[in-house]
Amino acid sequence: MQNNTFSGLFIGRNLITLKEVDSTNTFLKNALSKSTPLFDGTVIMAESQLAGRGQSGNSWLSEAGKNLTFSILLNPNFLAIDRQFDLNMAISLAMNDFLNKYTAGGAIIKWPNDCYIGNKKIGGILIENIVHGNIIKHAIIGIGLNVNQEDFPAGLKNVTSLKQALHQDYNLVHLLGEICSIIEARYLQLKAENADKLRDEYLSQLYLKDEWALFRFENQIQSGKIRGITAIGQLILETTEGLRYFNNKEIEFIN
């Protein structure tokens, strides 16, 4: 384990690098359960993550030493539990801000928080909240980003990396510093009560927004058009039978 620091206001000022860990999110949760003193904005980065997790229990596969797998500890006690999707929007927009710097505006957000370049997934976000009463006491922001990996398992479709897209290698620690700075800016925007602006930006960068596409729900493939999201983050889909509302894992995008 190695401690380093970035130069932002607080995110990344305490950076802990691990050679190998099952999951950076799990590492942080275990540390909090043991009352380990950790600063707001602490970042845990793993060179090799053995059991990375995505949304709803999905696994996150990452080649050791070639990608970014890290978690950020935030203490958003200004957010009520019914506003947790606002944090999701802020983090998703931050990752899109970062990717657009490198892809000339080619990045887009797939609901609820997958990072896409064109129609290919390049990263994902898993936010796990620890709640006290009606307030989010801690938020563990897990992020996986494909950076220098070029070969992916045959079963993974529509995935890419920065190297595949842009044909060059990247310094992982340098990229992590950039991402922490951008996340900090979006987080402070959220803290300044700019959630409405964040929502407008999120919707403007949403994959397949206002386009007819195929989706699978209720065990059928049906056409629909994404119209927006509710305050709690449900997807609003226009169908031939009217508007439908979906939580995560209740609907599947058909590429």
Residue-wise pLDDT tens for the chain (255 aa)? 656 667 678 999 999 999 999 999 999 999 999 998 999 999 999 988 876 555 445 555 678 889 999 999 999 999 999 999 999 999 999 999 999 999 988 999 999 999 999 999 999 999 999 999 999 999 999 999 999 999 898 878 899 999 999 999 999 999 999 999 999 999 999 999 889 999 999 999 999 999 999 999 999 999 999 999 999 999 999 999 999 999 999 999 997
pLDDT at residue number 7: 66
Within the chain, how many helices (H) and strands (E) appear?
5, 13
pLDDT at residue number 56: 46
Among candidate residues 145, 82, 136, the one with its CA nearest the CA of residue 117? 145
CATH architecture entry for 2-204: 2-Layer Sandwich (3.30)
- At 64, is the secondary structure helix, strand, or coil? coil
Q: In CATH, what class is 212-253?
A: mainly beta
Cite the residue boundaries of each domain of the chain with CATH code 3.30.930.10: 2-204
Separation in Å, CA 152 to CA 116, 148, 164 = 16, 11, 11
pLDDT at residue number 133: 93
Cite the residue boundaries of each domain of the chain with CATH code 2.30.30: 212-253
CA 133 to chain centre: 25
Rg (CA), the chain: 18
- Rounded to an integer, what distance in angstroms lies between the CA atom of residue 234 and that of residue 213? 18
pTM over 0.85: yes
Are 51 and 20 contacting, i.e. CB atoms less than 8 angstroms apart? no
